[in-house]
Amino acid sequence: MTISLNETLIRNIDQSLRASNSAFMNIYPGETGRRQPVHTVYGGAHLFRFDSAQRLGQVAERALVENAPDFVVFARALGLPRCGELPDVLDYATGLRHRLETNAEAVREENPAAWLAHTIYTRVQEKLKREPVEDFRIDFEDGYGNRPDAEEDGHAASAATEVVNGMNAGTLPPFIGIRIKPFNEELRARSMRTLDIFVSTLLDKMGGRLPDNFVVTLPKITTPEQVAALADLFDLLEKQSALPSGALKMEMMIETTQSIINSEGRINLPLLLQAARGRCLAAHFGTYDYTASCSITAAHQHMMHPACDFAKHMMQVKIRSTKTAQWSVARGNCITITSNIRSSMVSIKVGICIRRNCPRAMLRFTLSFWKVSTRRQNDCATLSRRPPRRPWWEVCLTMPPPARACSIISCARSTAAP
């Protein structure tokens, strides 16, 4: 074999490539494999209780029983594939339900529509009993509003106490955190004080221990300095409370045009990540605030708008496969609860998507495009639906898969307050 280049000649090139590849892998390590929640429930801090997740699950179960008492009604309500082949009324004499419960694989071969509907229905029932809420964000921003300082001080302390009670009782969702107010000039002082009261109270009552997967969400970011300020506050809180360095984590909400491209025309996302100094676990895209910042009217503020496609693609290009690998679409797959728990809403409609790289077409469930918002000034809740322009199953197939092969959403509905 004839060669012209020996190891000595290519040593400098080899070292250059090794350094470059190492630097690339440090920035883009790929998927972590850690669990990622498929939805987030935002609830006003003044309403949070240690058993809020269980109470929402109970409301969801009642909604499911009332609106979809069996898998046939459920399948037709969602428009599942081949649901028209299912019987109009379940004939229990045929033993279809019994066969599905005892020998599902046999039914799958001869009646795949019934098998699919029954499988999804039973998984939803099981999920609502076991883990109705995967991620809860105690909200001091949109779901809470602007209140007198003394009132917010009290709610920050009481919400922290409820989290402590939930940790002791084992009733917290697997992911939990708080959303503080933005760090703009009008609200920065209030936001920092709320963060201090909540974290200090929590650590004091729990002997310096945080809940599992605890994060702080920073909304309406416009400059890297706001992210850096939160990281600086984390440094101070950890030092004062003897928490390990890096214990406090954050999420960034991308919901302003300035968070995508800054005033100099530079892409701002890398600068935001750098400012977090390794503390950022996730980035959430806020559909409605972002479209509002683009002066898009309310009738067109949905995540199928081309403006949202642009912003999400920018996030995908910069954030995907970095150390901040988790990102989601806020208010598209999040439920905002801002009024009384009894008037909370969790969607009936369920999205289903087939994970293509799973050998047996495992199912995961995603939230439909619903939103609950409350106008505190007139004490009324308004419910608006933003239906996708494409069939919902096609929309779900375009969503980034979670770290798990199969996960199921929670459901609930709006009920009249007493």
Report domain extents, the chain. Answer: 36-65+126-397
Identify which of 25, 27, 42, 33 has the alpha carbon closest to the alpha carbon of residue 339: 42
pLDDT (average), residues 116-127: 93
Instruction: Look up the pTM and report it.
Output: 0.75
Q: Are 166 and 158 in contact (CB under 8 A)?
A: no
pLDDT (average), residues 363-372: 29
Pairing of strands 334-337, 326-330: unpaired
With a cut of 90, say whether residue 87 has pLDDT above it: no
pLDDT band at 371 (very low <50, low <70, confident <90, very high): very low
Q: What is the pLDDT of residue 333?
A: 41
Most confidently modeled range among 23-27, 76-80, 201-205, 365-369: 201-205
CA distance 191 to 213: 21
Main-chain phi, psi angles of 359, to 5 degrees: -65, -25
pLDDT (average), residues 96-102: 81
pLDDT band at 102 (very low <50, low <70, confident <90, very high): confident
Q: What is the 3-state secondary structure (H, E, C) of the chain?
A: CCCCCCHHHHHHHHHHHHHHHHHHHHHCCCCCCCCCCCCEEEEEHHHCCCCHHHHHHHHHHHHHHHHCCCHHHHHHHHCCCCHHHCCCCCCHHHCHHHHHHHCHHHHHHHCHHHHHHHHHHHHHHHHHHHCCCCEEEEECCCCCCCCCHHHHHHHHHHHHHHHHHHHHHCCCCCEEEEECCCCCCCCHHHHHHHHHHHHHHHHHHCCCCCCCCEEEEECCCCCHHHHHHHHHHHHHHHHHHCCCCCCCEEEEEECCHHHCECCCCCECHHHHHHHHCCCEEEEEEEHHHHHHHCCCCHHHCCCCCHHHHHHHHHHHHHHCCCCCCEEEEECCCEEEECCCHHHCCCCCCEEEEECCCCCCCCEEEEECCEEEEEECCCCEEEEEECCCCCCHHHHHHCCCCCCCCCCCCCCCCCCCCC
Report the CATH fold assignment for 36-65+126-397.
TIM Barrel (3.20.20)
Q: Which token pair is 162?
A: 């409820």
Query: Each residue of 284-310: pLDDT tens digit?
Result: 899 999 999 999 999 999 989 999 999
Q: Report the mean per-residue pLDDT for the chain.
A: 79
Instruction: For residue 34, give every residue at least 6 positions away whose Cβ sits within 8 Å of its Cβ, in sequence order, or none.
Output: 403
pLDDT (average), residues 188-208: 97
Q: Who wins on pLDDT, 104 or 330?
A: 104
pLDDT (average), residues 51-74: 92
Q: What is the pLDDT of residue 328?
A: 53
